[in-house]
């Protein structure tokens, strides 16, 4: 048991560090393509931040336990939409400013998150449904990219671009290898403790995979780049719920406990509705509103515990 716990902790730590470095190199690479800060956060950095969940989900599918990956994805999304935003506001000691461009997406965003819920009502994701999720996520990203070339950042030189790309690839390889050990060690640990692996994925692994978003967003907010931070978190959530779930289904169509959709998935959509509602008040996320997000996350944890452990 202690060997599995040690491997799990070390592998999860490497995943977090690898994603943090990958985000750093992705920023340097994205800046060379003349994109705005919000676009860099929403598309480029978010795609890199989602790599831990992606590789963990893929490895879980290959190991024959895709529901572990799905629980991790939905669990990390709820944490991102509530807990991570709350922590950022608490640690920086100020309200988070919300750009009007972000609020413009608030009508579509929750409905995009609703798509995997609707498709998964029967407890199964087929390859066709996976393809539909990937297309939906891709279209949303394309629209964000199309409108995101204003307020551009000074381009980096060609040498820095090549260096950033090479280091980004190295970080991705590290993420791929370490995510394999996260899945295998978490599964063995769950079996030893006699609990559902989904619990470990939803509460332990999912929180670990949100660390890159937290570190990156905190650093951005401290530099007064609030849009970069918000874009990263929202972009990560969208990619998790559509593109990553879609890839998971394409690799290996799978069945899963429907309570992941009816409970965790519904919580994810409600969290996005609450977040955007709070953001619209004064175009900012205040400390009081952060407490509300924290309370919602704690309520989610309580409900999941009742559903997955006590029943």
Question: What residues does 284 pair with on adjacent strands?
Answer: 97
- Strand partners of residue 124: 255
Q: Which residue has the higher pLDDT, 16 or 288?
A: 288
Confidence (pLDDT) at 40:
66
More confident residue, 29 or 204: 204
Question: How large is the average pLDDT for residues 35-41?
Answer: 63
> What is residue 188's predicted lDDT score, i.e. its pLDDT?
74
113 near 275, Cβ under 8 Å? no
Phi/psi at 170 (5° precision): -60, -45
The CA-atom distances, in angstroms, between 66 and each of 58, 227, 260 are 8, 33, 12
**Is residue 153 very low, low, confident or very high in pLDDT (cuts 50, 70, 90)?**
very low
Count other C-beta atoms under 10 Å from residue 223's C-beta: 10
Q: What per-residue confidence (pLDDT) applies to 151?
A: 45
The pLDDT confidence band at residue 244, using thresholds 50, 70 and 90, is confident
Give the residue-averaged pLDDT of 11-37.
67
Identify the top-confidence range among 69-73, 106-110, 127-131, 169-173. Answer: 127-131
* 310 vs 307, higher pLDDT: 307
State the chain's mean pLDDT as an integer.
Answer: 78
The pLDDT of 221-242, averaged and rounded, is 83
Mean pLDDT of 105-127: 86
Q: Write down all domains in the chain, each with its CATH number in brackets.
A: 2-310 (1.20.1420.30)
User: Looking at per-residue confidence, does 242 or 206 come out higher?
Assistant: 242
pTM score: 0.80
- Is residue 150 packed enough to be buried (19+ CB in 10 Å), middle (13-18) or exposed (0-12)? exposed
- What DSSP letter does each residue of 170-203 carry, written as one string? HHHHHHHHHHHHHHHHHHHHHHHHTS-HHHIIII
Q: What is the mean pLDDT of residues 283-311?
A: 87
Which of 263, 272, 306, 232 has its CA nearest to residue 82?
272
Q: Which residues contact 298 (CB under 8 A, 6 or more apart)?
A: none
From 187, 226, 182, 228, select the one nearest 208 (Cα to Cα).
182
The tokens describing 149, both together, are 């070339």
Q: Give the mean model confidence (pLDDT) for residues 87-109.
A: 80
- Residue 14 in this model has a pLDDT that exceeds 90: no
pLDDT band at 216 (very low <50, low <70, confident <90, very high): confident
Q: Measured between alpha carbons, how far is residue 153 from residues 31, 95, 146 in Å? A: 6, 25, 16
């Amino acid at each position: 048991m202690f060997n599995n716990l040690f491997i799990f902790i070390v592998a999860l730590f490497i995943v977090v560090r690898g994603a943090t470095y990958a985000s750093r190199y992705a920023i340097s690479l994205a800046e060379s393509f003349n994109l705005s800060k919000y676009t860099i956060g929403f598309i480029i950095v978010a795609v890199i931040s989602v790599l831990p969940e992606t590789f963990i989900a893929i490895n879980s599918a290959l190991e024959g336990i895709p529901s572990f990956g799905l629980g991790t994805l939905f669990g990390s999304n709820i944490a991102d939409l509530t807990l991570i935003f709350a922590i950022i506001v608490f640690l920086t000691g100020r309200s988070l400013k919300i750009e009007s461009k972000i609020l413009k997406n608030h009508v579509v965003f929750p409905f995009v998150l609703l798509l995997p819920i609707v498709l998964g009502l029967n407890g199964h994701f087929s390859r066709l449904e996976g393809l539909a999720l990937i297309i939906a996520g891709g279209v949303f990203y394309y629209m964000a990219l199309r409108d995101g070339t204003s307020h551009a950042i000074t381009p980096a030189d060609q040498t820095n671009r090549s260096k950033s790309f090479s280091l980004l690839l190295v970080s991705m390889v590290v993420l791929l290898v370490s995510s394999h050990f996260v899945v295998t060690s978490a599964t063995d640990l769950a079996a030893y403790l006699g609990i559902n692996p989904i619990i470990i994925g939803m509460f332990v692994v999912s929180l670990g995979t949100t660390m890159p978003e937290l570190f990156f967003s905190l650093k951005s907010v401290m530099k007064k780049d609030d849009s970069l931070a918000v874009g990263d978190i929202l972009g990560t959530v969208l990619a998790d719920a559509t593109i990553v779930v879609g890839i998971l289904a394409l690799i290996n169509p799978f069945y899963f406990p429907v309570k992941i959709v009816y409970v965790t998935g519904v919580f994810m959509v409600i969290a996005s509705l609450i977040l955007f509602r709070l953001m619209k008040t004064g175009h900012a996320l205040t400390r009081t509103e952060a407490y509300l997000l924290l309370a919602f996350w704690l309520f989610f944890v309580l409900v999941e515990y009742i559903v997955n452990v006590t029943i």
